[in-house]
Amino acid sequence: MQRWWNALGPTTGERIVRLLLLGIIFAIPFGAVILLSESRAVVAGTYNPFAVPKIYVLEPIIIITALLWTWYRPAVGRRLHPYRPLLGVLALAAISFIWSPYPALAAASFGHLFVAFLLLYMLADEFRDQKFLLTAVWTLTASAAVQALWAIGQFGVNHDFGAQLIGESNFSPTMLGVAKVPIDGLNHIRGYGTLPHPNLLAALLSAAIFWVGTVIFWPNKKRPIVSTVLLGLLLGLLATGLVVTFSRIGLLLVLVNGLLVVLFSVRKWQRLPLGAAIGAGIFFIAVALLWQPLSGRATLESSQETGVTNRAVSYDLASNAIQNRPLGVGVGNFVVAIDELETGLPDYQHQPAHNALLLATSEAGILGGVLLIWFVVRTGWLFHRLRVRDRLQSAINFSLFVLAGTFIGLSLFDHFFWSLPQGLWLTVLVTAAVISRIPRKQWEDSPSARP
């Protein structure tokens, strides 16, 4: 224990900061909230959680950690100018309350974005220490394993466990607005964990799956058979948790990208590790046992067809908002602005646009959307240009490349990466890991980052 504590940093202050960051990473799925006001929570005659300004309990902790980090980790060699596109988005978000239908909601949403930026700025710097990066990813994996077990349990008993204090939703298969699948003619809830939606849990499990897969395929790494089997079982647990989320795009992207990782590893190192075979075996057993609801999710001629229809409606609404409100409707205000964009929609179609970029652009304006694209393209381009000869570094970079691609794919079909702090924080973790792999001089001195 003392050795692990000393490995966190050279000084007590730095160790405390890093320990707080690890605690934040583990606690990301546990979204306990403080509701600020429910005065406009009823939208189209129904309570809508996206119309309620709130503070997440983890956010003050992140702010305190950032203050300690600034104190104990002086800004030697760190610059803000590579983050200018994100600072521009924050500036637009800060003033969007002026023209938003619900200014309090815009203010709360700006707070979420600001806290997410603080977390990104800290982690992108701290992750340059590869040992801490690996510790952080294992911490996230441990949290994901807890969530996988939780989701499997929820699916098994077909209701929540009553842990609303730490963020678990209150749901049952008979409640409206609960994500569920039909099994033998009866509704069955999808696995949530303590996250607000199964698709967000799928994103968390995807990150953990890619990490465990990377470790299993670690080049030139010989480990005891017990460790190999345990890694395989962990991979199988995470994969089973992903199955019970019934996230179509999550399952498809993980399956396709997982095959790419396998082909890359077999082609480069001519081997398929035992751990991968164990994890894949458990995954395919879970798929076989749940083939009926999974196959139903794969077709549009099913009870899930409304999900596809609602997505199409939300895309039209977001496009309408972008065309008619070029400054945006105000961050966090898409749901409450829907009636201004189109009247007569039923209550269940009052939800954020199921595309994170479309949603961000409709809320923060066209300029905000352009700035976000600029930041993502620049970061991706710099990461793509990396050339490393070390096989271990190559494996880490390839895994991050595939994971980032998976998150981008998920964000094209869901809004949680913009509309909810947990989604923002998961995106921050992946983005910070990618940035940390880019040499500091290259990150800060590229033409688009210069002052």
Residue type present at position 203: A
Give the whole-angstrom CA distance, residue 332 versus residue 110.
8
Give the whole-angstrom CA distance, residue 90 versus residue 103.
15
The pLDDT of residue 268: 63
DSSP 101: S
Whether 361 maps to a domain, the answer reads yes
Instruction: Calculate Rg over the CA atoms of the chain.
Output: 22
Please state the pTM of the whole predicted model. 0.89
Whether 132 maps to a domain, the answer reads no
Phi/psi-derived region of residue 177, left when phi > 0, alpha when psi is between -120 and 50, beta in every other case: left
The pLDDT of residue 451: 44
Give the whole-angstrom CA distance, residue 269 versus residue 6.
35
Whether 448 maps to a domain, the answer reads yes
The pLDDT of residue 2: 67
Alpha helix stretches (DSSP H) within 355-420: 356-384, 391-411, 416-419
Whether 47 maps to a domain, the answer reads yes
Whether 1 maps to a domain, the answer reads yes
Q: Are 246 and 294 in contact (CB under 8 A)?
A: yes
Whether 165 maps to a domain, the answer reads no
Domain count of the fold of the chain: 1
The pLDDT of residue 432: 95
Whether 367 maps to a domain, the answer reads yes
The pLDDT of residue 44: 64
Task: List the domain range (segments joined by +) for residue 26.
Answer: 1-126+313-451
Give the whole-angstrom CA distance, residue 45 versus residue 341.
17
* Tens of pLDDT, residue by residue, the chain (451 residues): 667 666 677 777 888 899 999 999 999 998 777 777 777 777 766 777 888 889 999 999 999 999 999 888 766 556 778 899 999 999 999 999 999 999 999 999 999 999 999 999 999 999 998 899 999 999 999 999 999 999 999 998 988 888 888 888 888 888 777 888 888 778 888 989 999 889 899 999 988 998 888 888 775 567 788 888 999 999 999 999 999 998 888 888 778 777 776 776 666 655 667 788 888 889 889 988 888 888 877 665 444 445 667 778 888 888 988 998 999 999 999 998 888 887 777 777 788 988 999 999 999 999 999 999 999 999 999 988 887 777 777 778 877 887 888 888 888 888 999 999 999 999 999 999 999 999 888 887 755 555 4
Whether 200 maps to a domain, the answer reads no
Residues sharing a CB contact under 8 Å with residue 92, sequence separation 6 or more, in sequence order: 328, 364, 365, 367, 368, 371
Q: Are 431 and 369 in contact (CB under 8 A)?
A: no
